[in-house]
Amino acid sequence: MRKLKSILFALISWFGFSSFEPNWQLLFRIEAEAKIIETDRMGNIYLVSKTNQLYKYNAKGELLSTLNYAYLGNITHLDAGNPLEIYLFYKELNALVFLDNNLAFRGKMSLSDAEVIQASAAARSYENGIWVFDQGDLQLKKLQKDGNISQRSGNALQFTVNKNLHPTQIIDTGTKIYLNDSSEGVMVFDIFANYIKTIPIKGKTEIRVLDEQIFYLDQAKLISYQTKLFKRDTISLPEPNVLQFGLEKEKLFLLNKGNLAVYSYSGR
């Protein structure tokens, strides 16, 4: 099992699924004006600057690699689910770029060539394929790297209340696919792109999924939604005005204006 037993799981378990204010220990800060943060299961940190400079740091906050991919366009999303192959999504170009673990260029894929009219979201599939939501025909699609489409959801409007569907995030956990749309909520599909249900978490452009829990920010709080119990729990954060967050290796990553703060739990 992927080592995702983050400290937040332990916190929620120890405190009986209730709202609480833990003590966080600041490990380090990375000074950066970033627009995207991602982490991998090895504890590495990836930052994309506002000028599309890409940085990779190790679990201690030490800079490992940096490359400038601004010449390719505006980076919309970074997927580090496989730390040996990083995916960059360029929405405006309808394209994906593949990098190695040193951030070196390995290849580029035009989604238009794969019969994807316009992807609004893209992510790595669990077995290193590609999930996209095609805004052109409103379908969740699974692609192989040769461009072949192996799974389709059918028109997703048949599962929605809101008819202005525009998902911005896809997460593949290996057993379920989570399609996040700020207006509709979090739509859940199986690995064959069959619709299961919609979770009523709205107004969020970013979520994190660990096992059967969805995490998202609500002002200065981190909310955990337990999908099996239909229950929300609140965890107080150590800093206000958080722009983005990450969870990995018993650490909490908080992206603020001007820096990334990395915390661990130090007891109560």
- Segments of the chain scoring below 70 in pLDDT: 1-21, 249, 266-268
Q: Which residues contact 148 (CB under 8 A, 6 or more apart)?
A: 114
Q: Provide the whole-model pTM.
A: 0.90
Encode 14-44 in three state secondary structure.
HCCCCCECCCEEEEEEEECCEEEEEECCCCC
pLDDT at 19: 56
Q: Are 165 and 138 a contacting pair, CB within 8 Å? A: yes
Q: What's the pLDDT tens digit per position in 33-77?
A: 999 999 999 999 999 999 999 999 999 999 999 999 988 999 999
pLDDT at 229: 84
Q: What's the pLDDT tens digit per position in 181-193?
A: 999 999 999 999 9
pLDDT at 220: 79
Q: Residue 268 and residue 262: Cα distance in Å, rounded?
A: 18
How many Cβ atoms sit within 10 Å of the Cβ of residue 38?
Answer: 19
**In CATH, 7-265 is 2.120.10.30:** yes
- Residue ranges of the domains in the chain? 7-265
Classify residue 262 as exposed, middle or buried by CB count within 10 Å of its CB (0-12, 13-18, 19+): buried
Q: Is 101 in a helix, a strand, or coil?
A: coil
